[in-house]
Amino acid sequence: MNDTRGANETGALRLGTRRSRLAMAQSGQVAEAVTRVTGRPVELVEITTYGDTSREQLAQIGGTGVFVTALRDALLKGEVDFAVHSLKDLPTAQPDDLVVAAVPVREDPRDVIVARDALKFTDLPSGARIGTGSPRRMAQLNSYARSHGLDIATVPIRGNVDTRIGYVRGGELDAVVLAAAGLNRIGRGDEVTDFLSVDTVLPAPGQGALAIECAAENADLVAALAELDDPFTRVAVTAERSLLAALEAGCSAPVGALADLLADGQIVKEMRLRAVVGTTDGTRMVQLSTTGPVPETYDGAMALGRELAAEMLAQGAAGLMGERAH
């Protein structure tokens, strides 16, 4: 273990980030916020992860953790002081020596379409080719199309935002599905041609949220970063990720989940957790929801996710996920 961690309490904090444009953008935004609450400058340390270099489909390379492991290794070696992850990429099992010190306010969790000719999803022509690397998106888009008499073909793709949108601009695909949060964070929200309602496509557990992680032993930094935590976002994503863990599914599995906070005026009264599991062709789906008081503790949020997962498993969800990740 590197014993220089925390030795320079006034120098720059080192933020470990993936090299992608999106990762750099969201890490830069977190860096500014950390400087505001700590008064210390933050320097970005770029780290290449296996998920960035592999050209395989995420479902083939294991999905879970492929963007995270190298960042966590750098944290544990003391090469960086903290790291920023897209929460939907984070494995549900948390290492004992690392802590998610903050989950800031969530961006828009919805999926969006970027389509040719500014088309909406339901206006795409018969036989439209829609690109996505996500089994979750494929399952729900195919299910919606099947139940609404639409003829679409989902095409597996990988690559950064430029690459994906390039398939549409170049005429190879009619549309691609992306996360609203990612496009917003890199200033490209104006390229969205349609927002997919969460009633049509539930997002990935934790989508739109970030996790700020650091070494558990660095108590001062944990406390400082905690000022960026949004308790409502944290309780929502905790419930979503608890459901994912209870299904024993990785982040590349066809599982969608979203916890909504239901407000009466300005008062948040209840939380609704919705989830879906389906085969990628959309022929078989298990979709359930539960509503109750907003959990006041971490354990309460975990229990909510586990309970809904148990109901889904009782309805055959396990058989729809392909190989289950352990």
**How many angstroms separate the first and last alpha carbons of the chain?**
28
Check if 214 is active-site.
no
List CB contacts of 312: < 8 A, sequence separation 6 or more: 243, 247, 275, 277, 286, 288
Check if 199 is active-site.
no
Long-range contacts of 151-159 (CB under 8 A, 24+ apart): 151/126, 151/127, 152/124, 152/127, 152/128, 153/127, 153/128, 153/129, 154/130, 154/280, 155/129, 155/130, 155/131, 156/57, 156/131, 156/132, 157/131, 157/132, 157/133, 158/55, 158/56, 158/57, 158/58, 158/133
Helix (H, G, I), strand (E, B) or coil at 220: helix
Distance CA 139, CA 84 (A): 29
Annotated catalytic residue within 5, 137, 185, 234: 137
Annotated catalytic residue within 72, 108, 110, 251: 251
Check if 164 is active-site.
yes
Annotated catalytic residue within 106, 110, 164, 234: 164
Token duo for residue 277:
């599991």
Annotated catalytic residue within 88, 106, 185, 241: 88
Distance CA 279, CA 139 (A): 6
Check if 137 is active-site.
yes
Check if 96 is active-site.
no
Annotated catalytic residue within 158, 188, 272, 306: 158
Of 108, 106, 114, the C-alpha closest to 132 is 114
Annotated catalytic residue within 5, 72, 106, 136: 136
Check if 88 is active-site.
yes
Give the active site residues.
88-89, 136-137, 158, 164, 251
